[in-house]
Amino acid sequence: MTESYQPHDIEVKWQRKWEESQLYRSQVDWSKPKHYALTMLPYPSGDLHIGHWFAMTPSDARARWMRMKGYNVLFPMGFDAFGLPAEQAAISRNIHPWKWTYANIERMREQLRSMGAMFDWEREAISCTPEYYKWSEWFFKKFYENGVAYRGSALVNWSETLQTVLANEQVIDGKDERTGQPVVHKMMEQWFFAITKYADELLNFEPLDWPESIKIMQTNWIGRSEGARATFHTEVGGYPIEIYTTRPDTLWGATFMVLAPEHDLVQTITTDKQRAAVESYVEQTALETEIERMVEDREKTGVFTGAYAINPVNEERIPIWIADYVMITYGTGAIMAVPAHDQRDFEFARAQDLPVRVVIQPAEADEPLHGDTMKEAYVGPGAMVNSDAMDGSDSAWAKGRKNPAINRVIDWLEETGKGEEAVNYRLRDWLISRQRYWGSPIPMMFDDGKVIPVADEDLPVELPEDVDFAPTGRSPLTYHEPFFKVDEKLRRETDTLDTFMCSSWYQLRYLSPDCDTAPFDAEEAAYWLPVDVYTGGAEHAVMHLLYTRFFTKALRDIGIFDETAEAMRRHGRDPDCAFDEPMTVLRNQGQVLGGERQGDFVLCSGAQIGGKLLADRVEVVGWNDVPAGFDGVFGEIAHRTENVLHVDMAGITQFVEVQPDAEIIIPDIPGANNVNQLRHHLEIQRMSKSKGNVVNPDELVAEYGADAVRCYLMFNFDWQKGGPWNESNIKGPQGWLRDVWEIAAAGAPAGAGDPDAERDIERKLHQAIAVINRGLEEFSFNTAIAEQMKFKNSLKAALRQGGIGAETWREVMNQLVRLLAPFAPHVAEEIWARLGWEYSVHTQPWPQYDAEKAREDMVDLVIMINGKPRETIAVAVDIERERAQELALASGAAQRFLKGAAPKRAIFIPGRNGSDPKVNIVP
């Protein structure tokens, strides 16, 4: 073993060997504890991104570590292969989605192999294959049969850009989550999953070890609130209007009602006199996008319907308005407005000159509140007033029944039949239909509006290949007669399933991807389920991660896991609670961001008009290379919007508007230049092709080797945080691997060694094992690698000093290579082989931490005066209080500060887990 470290030769060699020897084949073995490690499957977009490496290789290292610790580990990989990009490729490049997707998968498989991960490819699952989506369809049918899937009419999010409806979770700030384009509300009949049935169970995170932030986001998303429902009736016609409120204690303060413009009753109750105004307002609202409707501090608008309602609590006659600040999608789409105690109602009342009546009077106010003089709604505690028999009830800060006033009012509402306690959720049912081609078909047929499920034996309903993909607002399948026309009467559903449905159960398909009699094999499931550790991005907090929890619970209730539970019992495993949650532990990796980029340094000349320079000449020059006497604007381009440059001129931003016919000189870019070629300063931000700061993992592997890339990603970031890319830092891990290689290549030392030095290296080894274990356990990969580097440095120093004998060297190397194996699997395997040990290092047991060996003999006793360290004395590790205090008081530092006087106190702090013992003397 003499040649230098050449990663490429060894990496491909071992990847082949591992595959040939089926090293990572994982099979059920009830004699061993199982560990199902799962990392989110990629969408086959065409190229593996550095983000995939960042997500997957640390997870791989941890899975490998679990395996060496004696677990039977399943670490599968697959593709979430349905979705819009494939369809867009079909439209723009005339490639069939199937072909496009498959070519990408082929390519990505190869790229994934270059990671050297321990994926068991025999378990690969691809969601767009008929073998897979047969079961997506089958699950849909089961949901339908059990009332979990239903067809309903609702106001849904429609994306003009994507020409399809979207689930609420896929709309952020009124914009489609993928393209950032606005969505509008449309009334449509669609398929839904009844996720709201599980709202309460989904709020229970007790069985889960998940990041706090994800649990909070899901909790907020579900948005449970407690209150009451009450029914108002219109004065004319007696139509019931149900309202939901979290403040039933303010019912007596309702001075008007507001319906969402989309509310069913609007047409019915509007008086002829108001009809024109109401209809025009409804129309205007319908045209608004969600974004427009969500603008903050927007003036409240609305129109009176001409109708009145009777408040059931006091028989009062109050006007009914419509306004777009009331959402049809929340609660009942109608509210009682209590302007004195709700800020939105207050703003509306002031804008429309409606009365404000105080019904909660704060106790410690200087002057009682009065509706005419209030500047804002009062939402704090107080006593109920103007509320008939309820007057005097104590309304506290607490919500729901915990608030005495609310509690009393709810009891009264229920006794008198005027209302009832109610819980409301922000969460809506999951809209699952998509007007797209490239998704799993929905196995349903219609016969004159009657819904008929496709028979099980006819599954899967396969996607036809010869379709026209042009987006028309309807699924391309609507134009494919052989698909939708089953016979003269029967018509097939032509919408497809949201791809999030396919990824809600993929963890089950990995168990037995070839099973054609069931979605998964019960024997496999009995052993492997649930997923023990799940890793992936936090961006799926309220989409995939909420859906898959719901999916699992629904499957459990439908009885899909009954056979699995039976198998568990046969093998002596308790199935209780095993199917409540899909993934026990969840950890999110952060994001690898692009590196910083300097903006061009420019000289701009032209006419200064108003606050800006109208430039007719812009020249890119060297940094700070300003000719003497230059009187225009010069500096770094901090930002550019179209032709307006924000130039940072010695810390002050100058605005430069580049004229259309301006001369632009960029020496690096030959020929005529235009304003778009001027580069502005880039803060550290997401990598994207448009920003030109993407990092290609294939090139990195070619340059540094997969092991160095793996280790760099694990070492240079806090995995759960992510951070900016800085390629020069890859030298650290690279140098570490080369050093380990060279220590191994140098062979066993010839000298006899020194017992003290050998004891010391053994101690450091065991200290390192402890830190590495903790790092892997806690997903702190960076600390685990830093510790290995430290240990390598210690070993190198000891070897240089000739302190290590051949026997100790072999023992230490044996342990060191095993410690290296999960992080840098290829080089570890190569060194292991070259040192003559049996294939494979990856099937070796993980080094056992020995606290006795890690223990220090001598430590420094720190002598502190008033908490400030002043002196140290070498003492035995197990020094006792009295002896330590004695030594401390006798020390030079103590003598100097005490000057013979007796100390006020002398506090002994024993050394524990690695820290030195201390004595603090207070003179």
Q: What is the 3-state secondary structure (H, E, C) of 199-246?
A: HHHHCCCCCCECCHHHHHHHHHHHCCEEEEEEEEEECCCCCEEEEEEC
Residue of 119, 23, 45, 22 lying closest to 77 (CA atoms): 119
CA gap 276, 87 in Å, rounded: 44
What is the spatial distance between Cα 688 and Cα 774, in angstroms, rounded to a whole number? 34
What minimum distance in Å lies between the beta carbon of 729 and RNA?
A: 5
CA distances from 342 to 117, 223, 359, 404, 481 (A): 56, 19, 12, 19, 55
Q: Which is nearer to RNA, 57 or 127 (CB)?
A: 57
**CB–CB of 80/43 below 8 Å?**
yes
- DSSP per-residue letters across 257-317: EEE-TT-TTHHHH--HHHHHHHHHHHHHHHHS-HHHHH-TTPPP-EEEEEEEEEETTTTEE
Closest CA to 349 of 369, 329, 323: 323
Q: CB 861 → RNA: shortest distance, Å?
A: 8
Taking CA 262 as the corner, what is the angle to CA 187 and CA 345, rounded to the nearest 5 degrees?
Answer: 140
Query: What are residue 18's phi and psi, to 5 degrees?
Result: -60, -40
In the complex, minimum distance from the CB of residue 584 to RNA, in angstroms, rounded to a whole number:
21
For residues 664 and 176, what is the distance between their CA atoms, to the nearest angstrom?
Answer: 38
Q: Are 136 and 443 in contact (CB under 8 A)?
A: no
Q: Which two tokens stand for residue 825?
A: 């699997």
Q: How far is the CB of 624 from RNA (least distance, A)?
A: 19
Q: How far is the CB of 845 from RNA (least distance, A)?
A: 26
- Look-up: residue for tokens 């401390």? 888
Residue 885 burial (CB < 10 Å; 0-12/13-18/19+)?
middle
Q: Are 173 and 294 in contact (CB under 8 A)?
A: yes
Which residue's CB is nearer to RNA, number 577 or number 797? 797
Q: How far is the CB of 594 from RNA (least distance, A)?
A: 12
Q: Least distance to RNA from the beta carbon of 876, Å?
A: 14
Give the residue with the Cβ less far from RNA, 493 or 648.
648
Nearer to RNA by Cβ, of 789 and 841: the residue is: 789
In the complex with RNA, the residue whose CB is nearer, 29 or 173, is 173
Comparing CB distances to RNA, the nearer of 289 and 329 is 329
Shortest approach of RNA to residue 610 CB, angstroms?
28
- Reported for 202-208, long-range contacts at CB under 8 A and 24+ positions apart, including other chains, are 202/427, 202/546, 202/549, 202/550, 202/553, 207/577, 207/580, 207/581, 207/584, 208/581, 208/583, 208/584, 208/585, 208/586
Q: Least separation, in Å, of the C-beta of 395 and RNA?
A: 14
The answer to whether the CB of 771 falls within 8 A of the CB of 913 is no
Rounded to the nearest whole angstrom, what is the least distance from the CB of residue 258 to RNA in the complex? 8
- Pick 205 or 325: Cβ nearer RNA: 325
What's the min distance (Å) between Cβ of 831 and RNA?
14
- Indicate the residue among 44 and 261 with the shorter CB distance to RNA: 261
Give the position of tokens 């007796």. 902
Inter-residue contact 386 to 412 (CB < 8 Å): no
Closest to RNA by CB, 326 vs 812, is: 326
Round to whole Å and give the CA distance between 443 and 453: 6
Distance CA 105, CA 97 (A): 12
Cβ closest to RNA, residue 355 vs residue 732: 732
Q: Where are the alpha helices (DSSP H) in 559-666?
A: 562-570
Nearer CB in complex with RNA: 293/810: 293
* Tokens encoding 672: 């005529």
Q: Which is nearer to RNA, 570 or 721 (CB)?
A: 721
Region class of 219: left (phi > 0), else alpha (psi between -120 and 50), else beta: alpha
Nearest-approach distance from CB 257 to RNA, in angstroms = 11
CB of 711 to RNA, least distance (A): 10
Beta strands at 256-259 and 316-323: parallel, antiparallel or unpaired: parallel
Q: Which is nearer to RNA, 22 or 729 (CB)?
A: 729
